[in-house]
Amino acid sequence: MIIGVGIDVAAIDRFEASLERTPGLAERLFTGSELLLPSGERRGVASLAARFAAKEALAKALGAPVGLAWTDAEVCTEPSGQPRLEVRGSVAARAEELGVRSWHLSLSHDAGVASAVVIAEG
């Protein structure tokens, strides 16, 4: 049973400007493993914008409750390249409250826009 669906888009240039304008913003929005590639290099801004869109979409799928911590939702990448969500803390508590048992996530970025769709399934 589908419990919630969320979608979000982020203009990559606006997102990049926000990161440049606000010191420490990236660290407040993302976990260390989201910021870095497996090689240890910093992840590109388009990829970060898509991950931010995923967190926004996740919040929408959960009914946009107040008090969710950005880093309580983490976008991970399977060896196959498929993205997946890991949740903990405030996000896991809300998901449990709603009966979410699994997540479906799709990310994309093209033509200056990053997008994400999240489906919460019970």
pLDDT attached to residue 65: 87
Grade residue 38 by pLDDT with cuts at 50, 70 and 90.
Answer: confident
pLDDT attached to residue 39: 85
Q: Which residues are 118's β-sheet partners?
A: 6, 105
pLDDT one-digit tens code per residue, 72-96: 999 999 989 899 999 999 999 999 9
Output the pTM of the full model. Answer: 0.94
Residues 6+ apart with CB under 8 A from 76: 33, 83, 84, 85, 86
Give the number of domains in the chain: 1
Question: Could you tell me the residue range of the domain that residue 40 belongs to?
Answer: 2-121
Going by C-alpha positions, the residue among 57, 47, 61 that lies closest to residue 19 is: 47
Predicted confidence (pLDDT) at residue 120 exceeds the cutoff of 90:
yes
CATH code for position 63: 3.90.470.20
